[in-house]
């Protein structure tokens, strides 16, 4: 195993048995603090704001080191997206009338049929109104 990289046997075992450096130990302690601060700030702080957050807790760290450790931990900020309206209310198409008028209590079977696509995202179920039985399943 030592022949391929060109390292002596004693050099290999010296490296394996060597204790972690002070910098490595400090990085491991700092990684724990970064994880805690990242979760505490709802995963929205970048390196600059996280640096001041840690400084408020008495942990002084350089921004480049903080960025490197965040990259090693694979921590990313949740970015707020711009609201984009998806409904086009300004059109000349016919609007379907509301025949039910919010009266969801049928008196007999087969009077009202409803579909619930919000509660069960993967199953669009038309149900028969009076019996609340599943009438059909949509296959995608």
What average pLDDT does this structure show over 49-78? 96
What's the domain count of the chain? 2
Domain that holds residue 26: 21-73
Count CB neighbours of 55 within 10 A. 11
Residue 9 lies inside a defined structural domain of this protein = no
Mean pLDDT of the chain: 83
Confidence at residue 134, expressed as pLDDT on a 0 to 100 scale: 59
Residue 65 lies inside a defined structural domain of this protein = yes
Residue 57 lies inside a defined structural domain of this protein = yes
Confidence at residue 138, expressed as pLDDT on a 0 to 100 scale: 54
Secondary structure (3-state) at 28: helix
- What token pair was written down for 65? 């080191």
Residue 78 lies inside a defined structural domain of this protein = no
pTM of the entire predicted model: 0.54
Residue 54 lies inside a defined structural domain of this protein = yes
Does the pLDDT value for residue 52 go beyond 90?
A: yes
Give residue 31's pLDDT band: very low, low, confident or very high (50, 70, 90). Answer: very high
């Amino acid at each position: 195993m030592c022949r391929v990289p060109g390292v002596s046997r004693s050099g290999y075992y010296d490296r394996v048995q060597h204790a972690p450096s002070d910098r490595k130990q400090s990085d491991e302690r700092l990684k724990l603090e970064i994880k805690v601060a990242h979760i505490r700030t709802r995963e929205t702080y970048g390196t600059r704001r996280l640096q001041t957050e840690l400084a408020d807790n008495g942990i002084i760290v350089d921004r480049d080191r903080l960025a490197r450790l965040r990259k090693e931990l694979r921590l990313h900020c949740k970015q707020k997206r711009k609201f984009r309206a998806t409904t086009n209310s300004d059109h000349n198409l016919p609007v379907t009338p509301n025949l039910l008028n919010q009266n969801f209590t049928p008196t007999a079977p087969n009077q009202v049929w409803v579909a619930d696509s919000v509660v069960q995202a993967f199953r669009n179920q038309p149900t028969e109104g009076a019996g609340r039985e599943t009438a059909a399943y949509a296959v995608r």
